[in-house]
Structure 1
Amino acid sequence: MKIKAKPMGEYQTNCYIVTINGMDFIIDPGIGATAWVLENVTNPVAILNTHGHFDHVWSNAELQKKLNIPLYTPKGDVMLLQGNSWSPDLPPSKPDVEVEPNQEFDFKGIKVKFTHFPGHTPGCSTIEIEDAMFSGDFIFERSIGRTDFPYSSPQEMRESLEEFKKIPYDKTIYPGHGGTTTIKQEQQYSDYWIANL
């Protein structure tokens, strides 16, 4: 498995291309991501959103059209893809698959697992592919997603962190902003965040 990453736009939102068994998965194509993605894929099969915030989904529709591949978005965040007062200029996109909480998909033997961790947004999810977890804006290196946005919920974030603490294995975390970390590394800070939300 190869993972390419590039921070996009003024919020430096990480767009990822995961290549495995000759298939390319595009995760969170943000503002201005299209050209970079087109230069770095050879067999794209899906666009995957961790959540619906504009800086993670801006290039969804453009890539759907140019690559003719399906878009997978957590069901709870589909309403965020149509633009709103927070991001009125967002190019609207429509998922081909509205991902149910904790749904897993099989792409020719490659498992892609969405795990629902609401709080930052209603549908906020991590995406696991083999030994990698793409955490969007749920977990960062020594930080967590904000809960003061429209549709955010501090209580749901606390519950999500309690669930995150229970994960019995370790994987590398590739967050929506900043550098990589690991599940075990961030689990040790979970109680701090739960107490301070």
Structure 2
Amino acid sequence: MEIRVFPLGPLETNCYVVINEKKALVIDPGGDPAPVLGYLERGGIELDRILNTHLHFDHIYGNQPLAEASGKLIYASPDDLILMDTEVGRGGLMGFPTVTPFETEDITEGEMELIGLECKIYSTPGHTPGSLTFHFPALKSAFVGDLIFRRSIGRTDFPYGNTEQLMQSVKEKIFTLPAETELLSGHGPATSVGDEMNHNPFFSGVQI
């Protein structure tokens, strides 16, 4: 089992590759997927599917190119499809490029096996209405997108963002995970559940 990170795209979004037994998941390909494809090819690793934590432009630039190159499907929450009618979803915001259109398969809260690993999928709205967290207990890791960062939280001033929802998502879905769980965010360094419970200023003094 292995996790690799590739900062991709204009905002250096963390694209994660989860590998188990020569099969891989790609989470949030935010730019040209060539480095990811090259890594998989060199290792003789088969891509299983593409997962999106949410559908903001900087997390999905590489969706269609990666799907075309690999023939694999893209999975995202149907609750985020509304974002594709906004600049923060389809691109064009602040002069950033537009996103190549792509089709998605629905994925929602629940449990499923992915590349031989148990994955617990949590609905964690706030940054976006359909934001998802992918928790892999065997990896002691959760991929949280832009829900929470080291010592910070995701923005809620974009269309369909909601601060109250975000805070509730973190408290009810993230801070109930084991303290040692690594939190792998869409930008910046990794952190952990326990570290953020104790040191994230947005939750200082908040009853959890």
State whether TM-score is above 0.5: yes
Q: Which runs of 5+ in 2 are unaligned?
A: 93-97
Match of 1:58 in 2: 61
Read off the aligned partner of 2:158 and give its amino acid letter. Answer: F
Structure 1 position 180 matched with structure 2 position 179? no
Report the alpha carbon displacement of residue 70 of structure 1 after superposing the two structures with TM.
1.6
Which structure 1 residue ranges, 5 or more long, are not aligned?
Answer: none
Listed one character per residue, the Cα deviations across residues 14-53 of structure 1 (whole Å, up to 9, x for unaligned) are: 0111111221110100122x10111011210010111111
Displacement of 1:104 in angstroms is: 2.0
Contact 2:24–2:115 (Cα < 8 Å) also in 1? no
Contact map agreement 1:83 1:90 (CA 8 A) in 2? no
Q: Evaluate the alpha carbon distance shift between residue 168 and residue 108 of structure 1 in structure 2; reply closer, same or farther with a 3 A threshold.
A: closer
Q: Matches of residues 9-88 of structure 1 in structure 2 within 5 Å?
A: 9-32=9-32, 34-41=33-40, 42-80=45-83, 82=84, 84-86=86-88, 87-88=91-92
User: Whole-Å Cα distance in 2 between the matches of residues 109 and 38 of structure 1?
Assistant: 21
Q: Give the corresponding residue for 1:106.
A: 113
Match for residue 149 of structure 1 among 155, 158, 175: 158
Please list the CA deviations of residues 108-136 of structure 1 after superposition, one character each: whole Å capped at 9, or x if unmatched: 53222221111000011211223211111
Q: Secondary structure at the match of 1:150?
A: coil
Distance 2:149 2:114 in 1: 27
Alignment CA distance shift 1:160-1:108 (3 Å): closer
> Residue 191 of structure 1 corresponds to which residue in structure 2?
203
Give yes or no for contact 2:31–2:59 (8 Å, CA) kept in 1: yes
What is the CA distance between 1:106 and its match in structure 2? 1.3
CA RMSD of aligned residues (A): 2.0
Q: What amino acid does structure 1 have at the position aligned with 2:8?
A: M
- Name the % identity: 34
Q: Residue 128 of structure 2 corresponds to which residue in structure 1?
A: 121
**C-alpha distance in 1 between matches for 2:81 and 2:23:** 25
- TM-score, scaled to structure 2: 0.84
SS of residue paired to 2:204? helix
TM-score for both structures, normalised by structure 1: 0.88
**2:141 — aligned with what?**
132
Deviation track 1:61-112 (CA, whole Å, cap 9, x = no partner) reads: 11112101121112211233x45334241111211x2112x22221353222
Corresponding residue of 2:95: none
Shift of 1:180: 0.9
C-alpha contact (below 8 Å) 1:161/1:194 kept by paired residues: no
Structure 2 vs 1, CA of residues 166 and 110 (structure 1 numbering), >3 Å: closer, same or farther? closer
